[in-house]
């Protein structure tokens, strides 16, 4: 049985990797998904995979840090399917260096994408959420909505070379815990999922021919140091990194009706790290 039948979900950064796996999982469970990526090709590919599997999805291409994007993202759900039930703030990337080599632009970029963008998307959704909740309660309906913000175990424990990234990811935990109190009266569960090492293009081993990603015209190196990869067995009790599908499973748990009394929580999907 489709556990999320009738629900409408926004998933930012869902053209690739973990975000794509989240979109596919929610769609497979019956949700109609607004897929987002900064590039049209990956966004349309995720939509195609959902539709080919019998689900419903549309793409809303755009940069989550752009000032006009949050309202456009939310309004696409409302104009297409006239409701919004699930918001997954997943979009992000890494831009690493030690603090003495980190410029203001790098610092601001990490906070912008990992904290400010989720804040703006949730603020854009607030009017609909408050109005819908009031109308549902007047009709005697008990409808729960879900917000899942993606954070990192680096935000919980720190990670050398990622002071800006982990600061942004830690800030979204504060956003989550406060909003869980503000939106509890609207029956909105606001939680975080903190990923450990999940195998994607952003966490491939760094070596010869290391991969880069393009963000706003800048080529940024991505990957995990060989030393870290070699020590996985020591750091992660399960002895391996996770898959995007396993990461998506943790997000799905927070979207289920069984999680209606869980809010303000940080769930670690980290293999025990």
115 phi-psi bin (left φ>0, alpha ψ -120 to 50, beta other): alpha
The structural domains of the chain, ordered by start, are 8-202+240-269 (3.40.50.720)
Q: How many angstroms separate the CA atoms of 156 and 144, rounded? A: 28
Mark whether 261 is an active-site residue: no
Q: Which whole-number Å values give the CA distances from 266 to 105, 115, 148, 189, 210, in the listed order?
A: 29, 16, 10, 12, 32
Ramachandran angles phi, psi of 152, nearest 5°: -145, 150
Q: How many angstroms separate the CA atoms of 66 and 35, rounded? A: 17
Q: What one-character DSSP code corresponds to residue 224?
A: B
List per-residue pLDDT tens for the chain, 273 residues long: 799 999 999 999 999 999 999 999 999 999 999 999 999 999 999 999 999 999 999 999 999 999 999 999 999 999 999 999 999 999 999 999 999 999 999 999 999 999 999 999 999 999 999 999 999 999 999 999 999 999 999 999 998 889 999 999 999 999 999 999 999 999 999 999 999 999 976 555 565 455 665 667 666 566 555 665 666 667 899 988 999 999 999 999 999 999 999 999 999 999 998
Q: What is the pLDDT of residue 234?
A: 79
Q: How many angstroms separate the CA atoms of 227 and 224, rounded? A: 8
Which of 128, 144, 157, 165 is flagged as catalytic? 165
Q: What 3-state class would DSSP assign to 193?
A: strand
Contact call for residues 270 and 154 (beta carbons, < 8 A) = no
Q: What is the pLDDT of residue 218?
A: 66
For strands 8-11 and 86-89, give the pairing: parallel
Q: What is the pLDDT of residue 177?
A: 98
Cβ–Cβ contacts within 10 Å for residue 35, how many? 30
Q: How many angstroms separate the CA atoms of 144 and 7, rounded? A: 11
Q: Is the pTM of this model over 0.85?
A: yes
């Amino acid at each position: 049985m489709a556990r999320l039948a009738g629900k409408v979900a926004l998933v930012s950064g869902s053209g690739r990797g973990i975000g794509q796996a989240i979109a596919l999982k929610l769609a497979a469970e019956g949700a109609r998904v607004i897929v987002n990526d900064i590039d049209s090709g990956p966004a349309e590919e995720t939509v195609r995979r959902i539709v080919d599997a019998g689900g419903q999805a549309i793409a809303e291409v755009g940069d989550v840090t752009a000032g006009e994007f949050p309202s456009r993202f939310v309004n696409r759900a409302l104009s297409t399917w006239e409701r919004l039930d699930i918001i997954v703030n997943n979009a992000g990337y890494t831009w690493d260096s030690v603090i003495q080599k980190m410029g203001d632009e790098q610092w601001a970029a990490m906070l912008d994408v990992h904290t400010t963008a989720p804040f703006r998307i949730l603020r854009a959704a607030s009017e609909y959420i408050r109005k819908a909740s009031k109308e549902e309660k007047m009709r005697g309906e008990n409808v729960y909505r879900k917000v899942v913000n993606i954070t990192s175990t680096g935000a919980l424990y720190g990670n050398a070379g990622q002071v800006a990234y982990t600061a942004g990811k830690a800030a979204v935990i504060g956003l989550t815990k406060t909003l869980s109190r503000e939106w509890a009266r609207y029956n909105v569960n606001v939680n975080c999922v903190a990923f450990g090492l999940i195998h994607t293009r952003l966490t491939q081993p760094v070596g010869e021919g290391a991969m880069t990603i393009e963000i706003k015209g800048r080529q940024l190196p991505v990957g995990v140091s060989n030393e870290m990869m070699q020590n996985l067995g020591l750091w992660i009790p399960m002895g391996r990194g996770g898959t995007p599908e396993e990461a998506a499973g943790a997000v799905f748990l927070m979207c289920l009706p069984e999680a209606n009394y869980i809010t303000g929580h940080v769930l670690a999907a980290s293999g025990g790290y």
